[in-house]
Structure 1
Amino acid sequence: MTLPIRLSAAGAVVLLSGVLGACAPATAPGVPEAPPAAEAGLNQSRAEGPSRWELTRWQQADGTLKPIPHGDNGEPVTFEFSAGIDAAQGLVSGYSGCNRFRGSYGKVAAGIVFGPVAGTRMACEPSRMALESALYQAMQSPFSTVGVQPSAGPAGRQVIWKTAAGDLLQFVERAGLGGRAEQPAAPAGAVEKTIEVDAQRVACTGVAPQQCYRVRQAPDAPWTLWYGAIEGFDFEPGTRYRLRVRETRVANPPADASSIRWELIRVESSSRGQ
């Protein structure tokens, strides 16, 4: 399976052949299957359809936890599966800690396998690049499914995959793609609003230099900078968005954090090249 990749304004797209070139989609001949897992569960509970998953925990084979840093605007490490993790095959895209990536995936007897992946090529601070490199390295081999279960909260399912090196990666299903995960109840005092997000982020300085969204609440209003994250939003450079968000006030925020929190409810529209 080949996958056309658009050039991103954030950086040139390159094939990560040195890391993932040896992989192939699950339908290709000769792809090894994952070793037997304690409890394979990709066929449980959900119909096929797009789904979005966040990497929330990485336990290494020796029992230590690998830190999972977030992006400049708080972006988590996410995988978006075009047909859900239950599907026989599909396309995967997401944010790997520093860059965005796209590729293919397929279901095998006891887990999931990733095909060739391409991504943007940006430099980030060392901890994010180290996490990204380790993730791409792990994706060279199939992940075996340790288990799938409901989350403790309303976000959807959790899945734990085991890498060939024995690391355990825990992903939690998130809202924001395909309506697959339920939206949590709105906290007291929350308000909903519609915002526009410009097609490019810009350099800005908060506590430290970072990249900010340009946002506005009306088509004729001037653009303003948004220094925080938009939780559940997966931004693609070169695309302008119209979003419905939930805004809440944060009591006693850290000194380096905003007192306002935005959570994505839905993407109302998006358009390229603006």
Structure 2
Amino acid sequence: MPEPFPPASLPGAVQSHVWDVTSAVDSQGRAAAYWRLDGRAPVRLQFDKGQLLVRNLCNAVGAAYQLDGHRIQLARPTSTLRACPDSALMALEQQVLAQLPGAQRLDLLPGGASQPRMVLHFGDGSRWELAGTPTPQTLYGSAGERLFLEVAPQRAACSHGVMKGAQCLRVREIRYSADGVKQSEGPWSLFYDEIQGFAHESGTRTVLRVNRFKRQNVPADASAYAYVLDMVVETETVR
């Protein structure tokens, strides 16, 4: 078995990646299937400056954490209160909220293609195994620029290189004041990229908080920027 990362390197390695749950084991040592939902992205953990963010649930979930060597201590998680019509996703969210405070130990192991693996151990003997992917900040070498984009309910036909019949998102930039009051709306325009982490649903108007990163060594026919979803601000079904 590969040697775990030394404790001194854990904080940097933990924060420079996002972590997707790939398997889970219950307190009896048996494989647990609750974490996997067909057709949905896996539960994702992101450690950022003392805050753990949990992605791909119904609500936004977060908890303060402290890391001391391999020992980890998590505060009781908090979440938004959005109702989710997917009962299986809500059940998974409740499982995550109940289990996270019991985390006690975190091990990192080297993985294939230089991608690390994480094992998160809980006090009852259960554990999660996770695969690490570099964060956009790690990949692009900067914190990125924060934008708010409103995405129209329907895509629109667009000319997209050699792709015939391409359908692009329609977006406009929203500007907010420091206290969250909407200040202005930009004009609608075709958006020739995709937003990493965002799946557009026809008939749904969405306001997104995204981070825009400057790409390096961009081919002539590619976008100079990468757009990464940070948070869904609001959604509305439009009939």
Per the shorter chain, which TM-score range? 0.5 to 0.7
Residue 48 (structure 2) aligned to one of 82, 88, 92 = 82
Q: Secondary structure of the residue that 1:153 maps to in structure 2?
A: helix
1:140 is aligned to 2:135: no
Cα 1:67/1:41, change in 2 over 3 Å: farther
Aligned counterpart, 1:65: 32
Number of corresponding residues? 182
d(CA) in 2 for partners of 1:176 and 1:240?
A: 14
Q: CA deviation at 1:105?
A: 0.7
Give the deviation of 1:143 after TM superposition.
Answer: 2.5
Residue type at the aligned position of 2:87: P
Picking from 83, 88, 109, the partner of 1:149 is 109
Structure with bigger gyration radius: 2
Q: Aligned in 2, Cα 1:179/1:273: closer, same or farther, shift over 3 Å?
A: same
When the two structures are superposed, what TM-score results if normalisation uses the length of structure 1? 0.50
- Distance (Å, rounded) in 2 between the aligned partners of 1:216 and 1:148: 41
Q: Cα 1:242–1:47, aligned 2, differ >3 Å: closer, same or farther?
A: closer
> What residue number does 1:18 align with?
none
Secondary structure in 1 matching 2:41: coil
2:101 is paired with a residue whose SS is coil
Query: Aligned partners of 1:76 and 1:222: how far apart in 2?
Result: 30
Q: 1:104: how far off?
A: 1.0
Given candidates 149, 162, 169, the residue that maps to 1:215 is: 169
Specify the alignment match of 1:92 in structure 2. Answer: 52
Contact 1:148 1:158 (C-alpha < 8 Å) held by counterparts? yes
Shift of the 240–61 alpha-carbon distance from structure 1 to 2, 3 Å rule, reads closer
- Asked whether the 8 Å contact 2:150–2:171 carries over to 1, the reply is no
Is 1:52 the counterpart of 2:18? The answer is yes
Indicate if the aligned counterparts of 1:40 and 1:111 stay in contact, CA closer than 8 A: no
TM score, norm. by length of structure 2: 0.56
Please list every run of 5 or more consecutive structure 1 residues that lacks an aligned counterpart in the other structure: 1-38, 84-89, 183-195, 205-213, 246-264
Tell me if structure 1 keeps the 8 A contact 2:140–2:214. no
Question: Structure 2 matches for 1:193-212, cutoff 5 A?
Answer: 198-199=149-150
C-alpha RMSD over aligned residues: 4.6
In the TM superposition, residue 179 of structure 1 has moved relative to its aligned partner by: 0.8
- Look up the match of 1:167: 126
Partner of 1:67: helix, strand, or coil?
A: coil
The aligned residue for residue 209 of structure 2 is 239
Change (3 A) 1:163 1:240: closer
For residue 104 of structure 1, the aligned residue among 58, 64, 68 is 64
How far does the alpha carbon of each residue in 1:44-98 deviate from its partner, in whole angstroms, 9 at most, with x for none?
A: 47746543211121111231222324598x4331111114xxxxxx112231522
Name the amino acid aligned to 2:55.
Y
CA distance in 1, matches of 2:149, 2:80: 19
Cα separation, 2, equivalents of 1:99 and 1:119: 6
In structure 1, how many angstroms separate the alpha carbons of the residues matched to 2:58 and 2:230?
23
Letter in 1 for 2:105: S
Q: Which has the higher contact order (CA 8 A, sep 6+)?
A: 1
Greater helix share, structure number? 2
Assess if the C-alpha contact under 8 Å between 2:116 and 2:132 holds in 1. Answer: yes
The aligned amino acid for 1:102 is G
Q: CA deviation at 1:159?
A: 1.0
8 Å CA contact 1:77–1:94 kept in 2: the answer is yes
1:43 is matched with 8
Shift of 1:119: 1.5
Contact 1:243 1:269 in 2 (8 A): no
Report the Cα distance in structure 2 between the residues aligned to 1:234 and 1:76, rounded to whole angstroms: 14
Tell me how far 1:244 sits from its aligned partner.
Answer: 8.1
Contact in 1 for aligned 2:212/2:227 (Cα 8 Å): yes
Contact kept? 2:209, 2:229, Cα under 8 Å: no
Task: Give distance in 2, aligned partners of 1:270 and 1:65.
Answer: 29
State percent identity of aligned pairs: 13
